């Protein structure tokens, strides 16, 4: 048996839609110890069951931040949907520097060249700070998540919420973001210094509704919604008002055609070379999630 030390990889956001997929991918490798950051005690057993090591991490508690990065070789850095992402990210980066972490994979947002969507700029400032502190880095910049249709309740009562008018948008399956993240964490030599923009299918909401109607076998109508109403409802439900203002502004800019190349898609061949398969199209996503989409459509 080899006595080679396992590489310890910390997944922040391990219970989210991207982070969970990263954990599932990494635990398959015997030379990796996957450390899954959790906030609640009741999340620990599920991580142990799949072979991950759970560790308590509260980004508002610097003591847990410091403990979580001890002995870690690489980190997947994801933060919550609040303006505190700036404070939380800096805390992790500073603690990682003190613990001599080698590599950080950061999941941010679209890399479109506009400062009008504030949280895109926040993420790019985090990227710059990671680089400034001397880490090996891999920056991931996903476009719109296909999963938003379900997780944000955009699909319900036989209709699909439309916040962007006739605009076409670049979309990515969260599983594909996770696949690149896991590959980068596993192979830092191969991915260090790279920036990946992740969006592999472009469609308007009307086109998505039409594809869903055809593939799910149920007529899906469009339900236009003013981004301001979206913002007010999200804040009333407890979402961070500063962050939600960013999302509202993004929808408005998309609808106005004011985000250059908002429907730009990226290199499928490079993705396949990195993870061994092509990224999902909307048709792929709808077929794979047909039952969940049917349930969402009638709820």
DSSP states along 275-298: HSSPPPPHHHHHHHTHHHHHHHHH
Q: Is 71 domain-assigned?
A: yes
Which pLDDT score, from 0 to 100, does residue 119 have?
94
pLDDT at 5: 85
3-state secondary structure 198-242: ECCEEEEHHHHHHHHHHHHCCCCEEEECCHHHHHHHHHHCCCCHH
The answer to whether residue 134 sits within a structural domain is yes
Half-sphere exposure of residue 289, counting CA atoms within 13 Å on the CB side?
24
Three-state SS for 27? coil
- Which CATH number fits the domain that encloses residue 39? 3.40.50.720
pLDDT tens, 163-221?
Answer: 999 999 999 999 999 999 999 999 999 999 999 999 999 999 999 999 999 988 889 99
Parent domain of 13: 7-144+173-200+263-277
Cβ atoms < 10 Å from Cβ of 148: 15
Question: Facing residues of 144 across strands?
Answer: 171
Q: Are 97 and 133 in contact (CB under 8 A)?
A: yes
**Residue 83, domain member (yes or no):** yes
Kindly tell me if the per-residue pLDDT of 2 is higher than 60. Answer: no
In this structure, what token pair is assigned to residue 259? Answer: 């985000």
Query: 272 — phi, psi (to 5°)?
Result: -60, -40
How far is the C-alpha of 35 from the C-alpha of 12, rounded, in Å?
9
Q: Is residue 93 part of a domain?
A: yes
**Which of the pair, 3 or 57, is modelled with greater confidence?**
57
Number of domains making up the chain: 1
DSSP at 25: H
Nearest CA-CA partner of 66 in 33, 94, 35, 107? 94
- 72, 10 in Cβ contact below 8 A? yes
pTM of the entire predicted model: 0.95
Determine what percent of the chain is predicted with pLDDT higher than 90.
87
The string of pLDDT tens digits covering residues 135-166 is 999 999 999 999 998 888 899 888 999 999 99
CA distances from 208 to 197, 222, 265, 285, 286 (A): 21, 10, 16, 11, 9
Whole-angstrom CA distances from 116 to 84, 158, 210, 217 are: 19, 33, 31, 39
Residue range 86-129, pLDDT digits in tens: 999 999 999 999 999 999 999 999 988 777 899 999 999 999 99
Domain membership flag for residue 181 = yes
pLDDT value at position 67? 97
Domain membership flag for residue 227 = no
Residue 130 lies in a domain: yes
Q: Is residue 101 part of a domain?
A: yes
Mean pLDDT of the chain: 94
CB atoms within 10 A of CB 114: 14
* Spatial distance between the Cα atoms of 200 and 254, rounded to a whole number of angstroms: 18
The per-residue pLDDT for 51 is 96
| Cα 221 to Cα 297: distance, rounded to the nearest angstrom | 10
Question: Which of the four pLDDT bands, split at 50, 70 and 90, describes residue 1?
Answer: very low
């Amino acid at each position: 048996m080899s006595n080679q030390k396992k590489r310890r990889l910390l997944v922040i956001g391990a219970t989210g839609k991207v982070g969970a997929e990263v954990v599932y991918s990494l635990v398959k490798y015997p030379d990796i110890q996957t450390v899954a950051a959790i906030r609640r005690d009741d999340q620990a057993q599920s991580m142990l069951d799949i072979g991950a090591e759970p560790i308590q991490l509260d980004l508002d508690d610097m003591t847990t931040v410091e403990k979580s990065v001890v002995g870690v070789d690489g980190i997947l850095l994801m933060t919550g949907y609040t303006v505190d992402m700036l404070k939380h990210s800096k805390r992790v980066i500073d603690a990682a520097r003190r613990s001599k972490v080698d590599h950080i994979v950061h999941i941010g947002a679209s890399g479109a060249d506009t400062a009008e969507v504030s949280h895109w700029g926040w993420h790019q400032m985090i990227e710059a700070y990671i680089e400034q502190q001397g880490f090996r880095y891999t920056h991931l910049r996903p476009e719109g998540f296909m999963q938003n249709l379900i997780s944000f309740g955009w699909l319900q009562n036989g209709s699909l919420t439309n916040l962007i008018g006739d605009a076409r948008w670049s979309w990515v399956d969260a599983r594909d973001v996770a696949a690149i993240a896991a590959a980068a964490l596993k192979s830092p030599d191969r991915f260090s210094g790279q920036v990946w923009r992740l969006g592999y299918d472009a469609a308007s909401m009307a086109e998505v509704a039409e594809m869903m109607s055809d593939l799910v076998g149920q007529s899906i109508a469009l339900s236009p919604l003013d981004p301001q109403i979206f913002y007010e409802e999200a804040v009333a439900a407890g979402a961070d008002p500063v962050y939600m203002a960013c999302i509202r502004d993004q929808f408005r800019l998309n609808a106005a055609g004011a985000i250059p190349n908002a429907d730009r898609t990226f290199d499928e061949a490079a993705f396949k070379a990195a993870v061994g398969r092509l990224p999902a199209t909307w048709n792929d996503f709808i077929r794979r999630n047909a039952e969940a989409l049917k349930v969402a459509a009638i709820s």
